[in-house]
Structure 1
Amino acid sequence: MAVYTDVQDEELEGFLAGYDLGRLMACKGIAEGVENSNFLLRTSRGSFILTLYEKRVNAADLPFFIGLMEHLAARGLTCPQPVKNRAGAALGTLSGRPAAIVTFLDGMWLRRPGVPHCGALGEALGKLHLAGADFPMRRKNALSVDGWRPLYQATASRADGVQQGLAEMVADELELLEKRWPHDLPEGVIHADLFPDNVFFLGDRLSGLIDFYFACTDTLAYDVAVCLNAWCFEPDQSFNVTKGRALLAGYQRVRKLDQAERAALPLLSRGAALRFLLTRLLDWLETPPGALVRRKDPLEYRRKLRFHQKVASARDYGLEDA
């Protein structure tokens, strides 16, 4: 989440007039995240999240995201639900951007998740994958291996200004991953961005998942690799194998990884690290002045990538033998 587009009071009031949400009491921009403009709305009927879709979000993909949240909730997963306007539509236009309102989830995200939280996250990810198995819509992952070279090309000439040698390192890693990337592993709906700030807890209980705007149809084990990167490294980017073991055990209590997925996990984890290195690098270089957004350090993922490059097998992540 972030804020790139300012919304004028008159525009917001006109937009909300189409909804049955009561009187607007407050609207506050949310600085977390990097993709869309998000606002916390407080009305006389409760709290809601308003999202204006920007940047990498294709308006044609929005029915997929909206439908997926409804589908997952119907199967017991706690996630935001789209709020439909009086005409029955979940999508509208505000300040020249596609816009939607979703329900507000109670809870908070954890800056320093512990081992039990990683286990709960693993279980929730497994449940998401099972719940999405019969979702009828498909959406290609635009930020999988086929999408990394354009990101590299957009940043290569400036990458060494962030850190000397970064462009060459990315080029070498990209070439390797393009040659070795697996294309025959089990697929389904994945979240693709399940970082701690997209997972809410009430105490130690996981209370919900948010921000499905990278969700797509792709390799299920790649989603596990994203979570290993996002949840199991310490602030110095050392891998915490106890957290990894808890995350993987939680996932496998719900959905077992097959032998091919287990063998591919180190390569998938390298790919996930490169994906976030590249998108963070592009955002670092191109975030517009004045945007209410906290830029994220791309070099965090260079350090994580170095760890994955040395991994011999999924056991190094804490995955127990089958």
Structure 2
Amino acid sequence: MKLVCVALFSLFFQIISFAVVSEGQKINDSPVIGVLAQEVYSPSPGKNAYIAASYVKYLESAGARVVPVMINRTEEEYTILFRSINGILFPGGGASIFSSSYAKAAGIFYKLALEANSKGDYFPVWGTCLGFEQLTLLTSGKSLLSRTNTSGVALPLNFTKESKDSRMFKDFPEDLMTSLANEPLTENSHQWSLTTARFSGNEKLRKFYQILSTNTDGQTEFVSTVEANDFPIYGTQWHPEKNAFEWTHVYIPHSPDAIRTTFYMAHFFVNEARKSLHKFPSQKEEQNALIYNYQPTYTGKKSSFEQTYYFD
């Protein structure tokens, strides 16, 4: 019993330490994060766009509420929503990073985030898998992706020296960092990757991001985790949300350290969103925008997602 109490106290101390922010900084204890929807491959009435429920659970597990960011809205509508939410997540999926409504919306929010952060208005952006690829395109202005054999595999992270002092990883427990470096805890579901060679060869990417981890498919080394140097913009080619909330494939890791990885990644990004002081004009508008107004559908028998939110 004594050992259990010590372990629980240690974990509690880690969590409290992990949430520490700069002295005097205003903190938003009710962060609302947007998750960008994307086109359904075969649309049907009432199912023209979707968000995997695992992204919603992922953010909620760390104390955020979620607003679905619908596709095919005007730039004015996106700008109004931008001023109301405290961060945005570009999820994985199969939409085009060039011509889709997902790509168009992501481009608008990326531009708004750059403008806001340049003026001291903190607004974090996260890209997972497809979202990571979208960020590399938005930053570089060109497609630099290469085919890799990484569709359905869990991998350890090859951390760079920059990861130790990075905003993302600097407060992770040392034992978890060791596990991430030695065990296959990060699930990959992508056919395209940004190779380290192409990253290094692009001046815009080199100046904007620092590489925190790389991976390889056995032949090609690719970038797997980045954070921007001067902006709260982050990306993972792997899926931190799947470990705890998706059970549709056997290669998704569910070990205790895999679950801790999900928690600490979510906790980091939600704490970034706490630094944003955006808010909805009224409580009613906030309530009407939240994901709670929609019901997820069980799709685990025929999809990569256990549950999916569908939208008109």
> RCO greater where, 1 or 2, for CA within 8 Å and sep 6 or more?
2
Q: TM-score range by the shorter chain?
A: under 0.3
Greater strand percent: which structure? 2
TM-score normalised according to structure 2 size: 0.28
Task: Give the helix-richer structure, 1 or 2.
Answer: 1
Higher-Rg structure is 1
